[in-house]
Structure 1
Amino acid sequence: MKLNLDSKTAVVTGTGRGIGLATVKALISEGVHVVGAARTITRELSQSGAIPVSADLSTAEGVATLMEKALAELGGLELLVNNVGAGDALEPAGFLDTDDAQWEAIFDLNLLSAVRISRAALPSLIKHRGCIVNVSSINSRLPAAGPVAYSAAKAALTAFGKSLAEEFGPQGVRVNTVSPGVVRTSVWEDPDGFGGKIAASAGVEHAAFLEQIPQAFSITTGRITEPREVASLIAFLLSDVAGNVTGADYVIDGGALKAV
């Protein structure tokens, strides 16, 4: 299948690793000119072929820096992937252990970054009849599956995408959401990350915890999702092949979400 993305321009956020980095690589392989934003420019991002921009997207100033550099480098914007989220500070904490500062930090990164970037990008996206993909989570549908503030932020992000699709669809801009389940990223695989913290709190070795994830999350396929698989779905939704798909939320979780 030809996606016909050659020579298009894109901004992808949260590209230092994981889904964001895989999305950068997928788009570049399709001939897209990509600006990849990350708080820390990793070696992998530097070598990906993207134009790397260092910015803290949890702040309005970071978003302004990104969009100013992106528009200067690309000349115009046709594709936007709001992928940045979770964050290294995500904790397996309950509601009563999550204070206002943690709520604000999680919403700034997981929701308001997409709000601010989309606002800045939309004039160019409207001009080029472009496309947005927001990366949410199955936590938006299964709020008990994760930290309450993160789940609430992702639910708001999914709703935000629906609203953008409705408002800007008549002007030629498509907006869709991708909601992954557990993906093989540092969020789960880093012993000091979210997955490592869950394992420690349960008194389980981290390696054993990772092996048990498919069963614990009732993943039908028996394995967790690879970043490149999410990236492929994102690339498809950005392409004209999906030209009449908008306002949709695509779950990619190996069958973990059982609801109709």
Structure 2
Amino acid sequence: MDMQLSGRVAVVTGASKGIGLAVVRTLLDEGVRVVATSRKPTPDLDALAGPNLRHVPVDLMDPDAPAQIIATAVAEFGALDILVNNAGGPPPGVTLPRTSFLDAGDEEWRDVFEFNLFSVVRTIRAALPHLIERGGGSIVNISSVNARQPSSMNVDYGAAKAALTNMAKVVAVEFGSQGVRVNTVSPGPVRTAWWTDEGGVADIIAERAGSDRDTVMDSLVPEMMGLVTGRLVDPQEVADAVVLLASPRSAGTTGADLAVDGGYLKAV
């Protein structure tokens, strides 16, 4: 299927690995010119280097970073058509998971909201004038199933993502008449570095459960979370949903929240 994306310009945050890297790779394959942002590049992102890719090293905890990213995209490629707000998860210096509401104080809550909500608000605010000038475009925000399924694990993260999902629907309504579509993709547990790195979530759970990293990811977590597919989600599966929503093929879809979660969410 032709996604009708060739020649368009996209910004992807959190682009150096995992879901963000898969989104960048897929957009490039569709002929999109991409500004990819992360605190630093990775060998996997560097391997995608070419005339259609520009990496901007920024820290989204800096309130000025979003405007810098959007300005770079317009300066480099002349326009903006697509914004993928993928950056999220634990802010720099924060280790997740937390297992109780009492595990995080005010500063931890502020940092999680700064990274997972306020940086997205600022990036959308910076992007909207350019999308409107272009006659419309697509914003896709990466949220989480924790936005829809409250949990005592990482409660601050889940609350920030719930706010993100709510905000996206509001922006979709306000700017839909100007051609701007806003949708959300909510992944379940995805096999990314957050799980697989040494000292990552899989190791933390394995230590508490008296197990090992591979068992945690291959069977313990899928069973514990009731994943219908019996496995963690692959980053490419999330990227495919993102690119479909970014495409004019989804012109009739806005204000939606698409779960790519292995069947974790079961409520109607």
Is the TM-score greater than 0.5?
yes
Q: TM-score, normalised by structure 2?
A: 0.93
- For each residue in 1:196-230, what CA deviation from the matched residue of structure 2 results, as whole angstroms up to 9, or x when unmatched? 22332333322221122211111111111111111
Measure how far apart 1:75 and its partner are: 1.3
Identity %: 46
AA aligned to 2:105 is D
Q: Does 1:33 align with 2:33?
A: yes
AA aligned to 1:101 is E
2:73 corresponding residue in structure 1: 70
> C-alpha root-mean-square deviation of aligned residues, in Å?
1.3
2:263 corresponding residue in structure 1: 255
Q: Distance in 2 between matches of 1:184 and 1:162?
A: 28
2:111 corresponding residue in structure 1: 105
The total of aligned residue pairs comes to 260
AA aligned to 2:69 is L
Q: Distance in 1 between matches of 2:118 and 2:97?
A: 22
2:96 to 91, 94, 101: 91
Q: Distance in 1 between matches of 2:239 and 2:24?
A: 8
The SS at the match of 2:186 is strand
Measure how far apart 1:100 and its partner are: 1.2
Measure how far apart 1:40 and its partner are: 1.4
The SS at the match of 1:182 is coil
1:204 to 205, 208, 211: 211
Structure 1 gaps of 5+ residues are: none
Cα pair distance change 1:145/1:29, threshold 3 Å: farther
The SS at the match of 1:53 is strand
1:23 corresponding residue in structure 2: 23
Structure 2 gaps of 5+ residues are: none
- For each residue in 1:54-102, what CA deviation from the matched residue of structure 2 results, as whole angstroms up to 9, or x when unmatched? 0001221222332232221121100000000003624222221201111
Q: Distance in 2 between matches of 1:112 and 1:224?
A: 28
**Residues 139, 145 of structure 1: 8 Å contact kept:** no
1:230 corresponding residue in structure 2: 238
Q: Does 1:61 align with 2:64?
A: yes
AA aligned to 2:33 is H
Measure how far apart 1:47 and its partner are: 1.9
Measure how far apart 1:189 and its partner are: 1.1
**Residues 226, 264 of structure 2: 8 Å contact kept:** yes
2:190 corresponding residue in structure 1: 183
**Residues 8, 78 of structure 1: 8 Å contact kept:** yes
- For each residue in 1:99-134, what CA deviation from the matched residue of structure 2 results, as whole angstroms up to 9, or x when unmatched? 111111111111111100000000011122111000
AA aligned to 2:41 is I
Q: Distance in 1 between matches of 2:62 and 2:211?
A: 36
1:162 corresponding residue in structure 2: 169
AA aligned to 2:231 is R
Q: Distance in 2 between matches of 1:105 and 1:83?
A: 17
Q: Does 1:142 align with 2:149?
A: yes
2:125 corresponding residue in structure 1: 119
